Amino acid sequence: MNILQRVRKGDDGVLVFGNHPAVVQSILDFDYLSGKKEPSVVGIIAGNRSAQKFFFGKSEILVPCFKSVADIPKHLRPRVQWMLNLQSGRRAYESTVAFFEAFPQALGGHIFAENMPEMQATELIARFGRKHLIAGPSGVGILVPGHLKLGAIGGVDMHQIEAGKLSTAGSVAVVSTSGGMTNELIRAVAAAEKRVSFSVAIGGDRFPVTSLTDVLKLAQNDEATKAIVYFGELGGSDEYEIVEMLKTRTLTKPVLCYIAGIIDEAFDEHMQFGHAKALVARKDESARAKREALREAGALAPETFPEFLREMARLPSAPVRLPAAKRSRVAQAGDRVVDIMSLTNRQKSILSTREIVDLDAVPQFVRGGKLAKQKDNGFAAAALSALLGSEVSPVTAAFVENIFELLIDHGGHVSGAVNTMVTARAGRDMVSSLAAGLLTVGPRFGGAVNAAAEQWLDGVAQDADAADFVEARTKKGALLAGIGHRKYRVGLGDPRVAALSGFAKLLKKHPHYDFARDVEKVTTRKSGSLILNVDGVMAALLLDILAEKEGYSAAQLQKLTEAEFFNALFIIPRTVGFIAHFIEQKQNDEGLFRLPDELLFERKKGPKKGE
């Protein structure tokens, strides 16, 4: 199965390098107008964000962004078949190499940038030119109508995509070194009441990665392609590749060519026209010499562009003849009709959010006058579904339910509860009092869960020795999150830790929990109070549970720590505890709280007047 056949069967996943929103959006519009169920753009390599906002039809979507190809998650990798490199000429080489080394089975790509150093371009030819279909450097990309739009090819506006009939597969291949003229030819083919089978803008730099010969072989072997339209210009020797293929009968399909640049003959010396190789260095590189050589080999090579367009209308493609009224709209049987006017006034939202709770799915607790039995751990499962964006396994839900029940309160003497109560007694409302308590949550109170998760994740990733790990952190003056307790110690363990530790028996492997316990063995040799506390055990076990039961990779777990997900497991239940303390203070109504004078430090008198 060749490349075009694979694309037509659905191998369309594109990984984009660099930030060019208009080009990416045009690909998504092409996908939608072609009737695809999901976008072909898999992700964007752009290190300064996690996602970028686009539209798929009328719906707003977030395309994930990654810092490098190594960060592409496993579930996305099988879809990646194409590279769209929109980076500058000085960066495109390294990222192209990185892509094909990471995805050696990919079908190809497009390098958008002009002026890539010629040494780098020739290196890409040697390494990847025969294995992959790579358009560029310098061009607009690759098009397989209805299936793949790789780059700005065919235009970046929905009206251009519609006018070029890019959603409809046809039988005329469009090939050119010029990106701009590739788009013009695609539009001209549609205007001639024909449709494009595929198109490649080879690239205007001196050394394109995929040669003209390779593209023409693709057209020759493509059953859908019945004729080839080519635009060339003065300078270079590309057209002589066509001549050789026609003479040797390697290429037997009709070829219609237009070679621009006759105007060069009006000047006293040869002029540079646009592209790097559009300069006559020898007599046989002139536009006239190329036209004559092509005609002698059997190609159609008209003298003027209007003649070229008239010949295009005569190419074999079995066009469907329609009444004049419909023909004026350049429509053929099989054209996908979409109301693009409804898509022209799209406006991006200010904030991106998903529907966390389905407001139409109202749970019923009473049925037939009786209390209906509810799912066990229902609140925990619903909370996790909201936080993670997907349903979770019973083990994960049960573990978090256990955490919620254990962490609702830890007495009124802890700082968060104190702040809540003091604010309540100052006459403030529930939200203000709760906010005062929650603002106390941080590295010294409640915020150690996420820090512990980062710590255990780092230790396991490094396959670190626990003693060396502890020594390295203490030398840096860093605290060991999740280790130590004021009340509990060796021989008098925290019952909450014992309760949660039972979940380790439900797992096949628990490397983060094991590492945390190994660290505890080291720290308790220094002090009996440096035990694994509830923050440390819930972080370690939840890492293991998410990895085994939910299929999270180390990179995905790292993302959760960056978003402070693990601290939510303290904040959610403790919010209930703070509210309970607030209600109690409101019911007691003891008035404004003040510290007794005897509990204050001795006040120092200020300096006397004149001193």
Q: Are 539 and 453 in contact (CB under 8 A)?
A: yes
DSSP code per residue over 580-605: HHHHHHHHH---S----GGGSPPPPP
Question: How far apart (Å, rounded) are the C-alpha atoms in residues 64 and 369?
Answer: 49
Euclidean distance between CA atoms 515 and 608, whole angstroms: 61
Tokens of 593: 């709280």
Q: Where are the alpha helices (DSSP H) in 298-346?
A: 305-313, 324-327
Query: Using CA atoms, how far apart are residues 578 and 569, in angstroms rounded to an integer?
Result: 15
DSSP track, 508-555: S--HHHHHHHHHHHHHTTT-TT--B-HHHHHHHHHHHHHHHHS---HH
Burial label, 362 (beta-carbon count in 10 A; 0-12, 13-18, 19+): exposed
Place of tokens 């072909």: 40
Q: What residue type is 33 in one-letter code?
A: L
Please give the backbone phi and psi of residue 133, each rounded to the nearest 5 degrees, phi first: -95, 105
Verify whether residue 410 is a known catalytic residue: no
Q: Considering Cα of 109, then 112, then 117, then 118, what sign does the dihedral take?
A: positive
Structural Rg of the chain based on CA atoms: 34
Say how far apart CA 472 and CA 495 lie, in whole Å: 30
What is the C-alpha to C-alpha distance for residues 577 and 562, in angstroms, rounded to an integer? 26
Assign residue 564 a region (left: φ > 0; alpha: ψ between -120 and 50; beta: otherwise): left
Task: Give the strand order in the sheet containing 13-17.
Answer: 51-56, 59-66, 41-45, 13-17, 80-85, 108-111, 133-135
Please answer whether residues 89 and 114 qualify as being in contact, where contact means their C-beta atoms are separated by less than 8 angstroms: yes
Measure CA of the first residue to CA of the last residue in the chain; give whole Å. Answer: 97
Six-digit token string for 235? 């300078």
Residue 315 is encoded by which pair of tokens? 């190419």
CB atoms within 10 A of CB 5: 13
What are the structure tokens assigned to 501, written together? 């530790």
And the tokens for 346? 């799209």
For residue 137, say if its preceding peptide bond is cis, omega within 30 degrees of 0.
yes
Please state whether 555 falls in left (phi above 0), alpha (psi between -120 and 50) or beta.
Answer: alpha
Instruction: Tell me which of 20, 110, 132, 275 is the catalytic residue.
Output: 275
Question: Token digits for 267?
Answer: 């000047």
3-state secondary structure 455-500: HHHHHHHCCCCHHHHHHHHHHCCCCCCCECCCCCECCECCHHHHHH
Cβ contact 385:392 at 8 Å: yes
Active-site residues, by number, are 275
